[in-house]
């Protein structure tokens, strides 16, 4: 059978060759220095593992409510109350207070993004996403027939209202903010968040805030909360913290990166109840529910302190910036565990050509054109052991000098 003739354009349009090429070449390297990985290298904290194991042993292995198990929803709601000052109703949608925002546990942060795009975008609609972007963003637009409109954020990688405003059209349905960002690690300021929220409100466009890396925000990028709550500690700025945001912001967060459980496929979404209702319907007929036993594991997450791991990542960030800034331009990442590093112009190389040189030195990093229309930077992940990071930085210093 000619299977190729049966494949839909939607699937054919997705070009995964850039990233696949790096991984394929990397697989052939002996003892590669792998700075391409987008997940934490610390072990999953014991209480979280134990909670998931106990859940399996106690027979929590069946389907759950599509919205997620009640204990996890309650934990998320409690966290959102202190962190963003939202009064979310954790009860199932059928019995929840209709005037309050809703919450749903999803199959990864990706699941929440995918369902939100499906629920909001009709063919021909537009979604404004940052460039550089997390690889999935343009594809989840085109999969629903919508148009991804790229907001060029070079050279500082800030998605500001001033950069977004000229891109708005009558077809724009949503603006996607990702802070801290993948691939640049850039954290939006309170001012950036407020101005973007005001612009979106004025134009009746939904602001989706992908905050999967919110826990990985380093001290210099944290700011006091605009509502003054959360024990007064400075935190990662979020548009969700501004008064009334729960009606205009769709907040997406995850467990995978924060606790090192990326394979558990767990995230959550909170925001306008009308949208949660639609997303819940779509989840019912696609993913059905997030993994059952692992939802029980995630209940333990909220009581685990990750500050030691975050402090360790901040030290690595400092090392990356201090060493590479001597040989090229690095926008200081305020969060996540990536740096988006410019290939020095004096080398006269595209980032793809530079990556070939890295591979010749057994170093794996990701060329910027996997995340962008431009081919001038590469993404380095410092979520790796100290020896690999040290070896990788030494190769980069040698190649860039
Ligand atoms: C910005 C961003 N959003 C979403 C995701 C997807 O995360 P999850 O594994 O929770 O689906 C990632 C994963 O790398 C990411 O970097």
User: Which tokens go with 298?
Assistant: 């995630």
Distance 361 CA to ligand 1 centre (A): 29
- pLDDT attached to residue 355: 93
Reduce the secondary structure of 314-343 to three states and give it as a string: HHHHHHHHHHHCCCCCECCCCECCEEEEEC
> Using CA atoms, how far apart are residues 202 and 61, in angstroms rounded to an integer?
46
- 3-43+306-400 and 46-303 share one CATH topology? no
In ligand 1, the atom with minimum distance to the C-alpha of 39 is 14
The mean pLDDT value of the chain amounts to: 95
The sign of the CA dihedral 76, 186, 164, 148 is negative
Handedness of CA 136, 139, 140, 146 (dihedral sign): positive
Tell whether the model's pLDDT for residue 50 goes beyond 70: yes
Domain definitions of the chain by residue range: 3-43+306-400, 46-303
Q: Residue 96 has what pLDDT?
A: 87
Could you confirm whether domain 46-303 is CATH 3.40.50.2000? no
Rounded CA-CA distance 227/5 in Å is 56
**What pLDDT is attached to residue 229?**
64
Q: How far apart are CA 111 and CA 266, in angstroms?
A: 8
Q: pLDDT tens, 77-111?
A: 999 999 999 999 988 888 888 889 999 999 999 99
Confidence of residue 13 (pLDDT cuts 50, 70, 90): confident
> What pLDDT is attached to residue 43?
94
pLDDT at 40 over 70: yes
d(CA 372, CA 117): 20
pLDDT value at position 15?
Answer: 80
Ligand 1 and 134: CB distance under 6 A: yes
Q: Express each pLDDT in 144-187 by its tens digit.
A: 999 999 999 999 999 999 999 999 999 999 999 999 999 999 99
Q: Is the CB of 267 under 6 A from ligand 1?
A: yes
**Which ligand 1 atom is nearest residue 255's CA?**
10
Report DSSP letters for 278-311, one per residue: HHHHHHHTTT-SS-HHHHHHHHTGGG---HHHHH
pLDDT of res. 234: 85
pLDDT at site 286: 95
> Which CATH number is associated with domain 3-43+306-400?
3.90.1150.10
Ligand 1, pocket-test mutation among 256, 366, 372, 383, most atoms within 8 A of CB: 256
CB of 328 sitting under 6 A from ligand 1: no
CA dihedral 189, 193, 198, 203 (to 10 degrees): 130
209 lines ligand 1 (CB under 6 A): no
Which tens digits make up the pLDDT trace of 198-244?
Answer: 999 999 999 999 999 999 999 999 999 888 765 667 899 999 999 99
pLDDT of residue 232: 64
User: How much of the chain, in percent, has pLDDT values that exceed 70?
Assistant: 99
| Ordered strands of the 147-152 beta sheet | 102-107, 266-271, 249-254, 206-210, 172-178, 126-131, 147-152
DSSP string, 50-105: HHHHHHHHTT--S---TT--HHHHHHHHHHHHHHH------S-TTTS-TTS-EEEE
**What spatial distance separates the first Cα and last Cα of the chain, rounded to whole Å?**
54
- Which atom of ligand 1 is nearest the CA belonging to 256? 10
For the cut 80, the answer to whether the pLDDT of residue 386 exceeds it is: yes
The mean-pLDDT minimum among 36-40, 134-138, 335-339 falls in 36-40
Residue 388 and residue 41: Cα distance in Å, rounded? 12
pLDDT at 66 over 80: yes
């Amino acid at each position: 059978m000619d299977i190729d003739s049966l494949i839909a354009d939607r699937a054919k349009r997705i070009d995964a060759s850039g990233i696949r090429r790096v991984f394929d070449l990397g697989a052939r390297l002996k003892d590669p220095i792998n700075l391409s990985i987008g997940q934490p290298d610390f072990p999953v904290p014991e209480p979280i593992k134990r909670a998931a194991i106990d859940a399996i042993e106690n027979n929590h292995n069946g389907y759950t409510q599509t919205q997620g198990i009640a204990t996890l929803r309650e934990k998320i709601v409690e966290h959102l109350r202190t962190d963003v000052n939202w009064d979310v109703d954790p009860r199932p949608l059928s019995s929840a207070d209709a005037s309050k925002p809703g919450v749903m546990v999803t199959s990864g942060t990706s699941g929440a993004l995918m369902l939100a795009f499906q629920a909001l975008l009709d063919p021909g609609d537009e979604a404004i996403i940052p460039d550089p972007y997390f690889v999935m963003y343009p594809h989840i637009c085109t999969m629903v027939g919508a148009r991804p409109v790229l907001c060029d954020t070079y050279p500082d990688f800030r998605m500001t209202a001033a950069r977004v405003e000229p891109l708005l059209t009558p077809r724009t349905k949503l603006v996607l903010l990702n802070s801290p960002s993948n691939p640049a690690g850039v954290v939006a300021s309170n001012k950036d968040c407020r101005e973007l929220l005001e612009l979106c409100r004025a134009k009746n466009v939904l602001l989706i805030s992908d905050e999967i890396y919110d826990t990985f925000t380093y001290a210099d990028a944290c700011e006091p909360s605009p509502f003054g709550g959360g024990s007064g500690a400075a935190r990662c700025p979020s548009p969700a913290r501004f008064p009334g945001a729960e009606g205009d912001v769709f907040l997406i967060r995850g467990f995978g990166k924060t606790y090192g459980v990326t394979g558990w496929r767990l995230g959550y979404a909170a925001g306008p109840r009308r949208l949660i209702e639609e997303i819940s319907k779509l989840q019912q007929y696609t993913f059905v529910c997030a993994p059952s036993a692992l939802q029980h594991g995630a209940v333990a997450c909220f009581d685990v302190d990750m500050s030691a791991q975050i402090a360790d990542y901040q030290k690595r960030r400092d090392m990356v910036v201090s060493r590479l800034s001597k040989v090229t331009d690095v926008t200081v990442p305020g969060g996540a565990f990536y740096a988006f590093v410019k290939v020095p112009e004096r080398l006269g190389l595209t980032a793809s050509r530079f990556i070939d040189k890295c591979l010749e030195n057994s170093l794996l990093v990701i060329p910027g054109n996997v995340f962008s229309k431009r081919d001038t930077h590469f993404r380095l992940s410092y979520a790796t052991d100290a020896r690999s990071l040290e070896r990788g930085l030494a190769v980069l210093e040698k190649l860039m000098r």
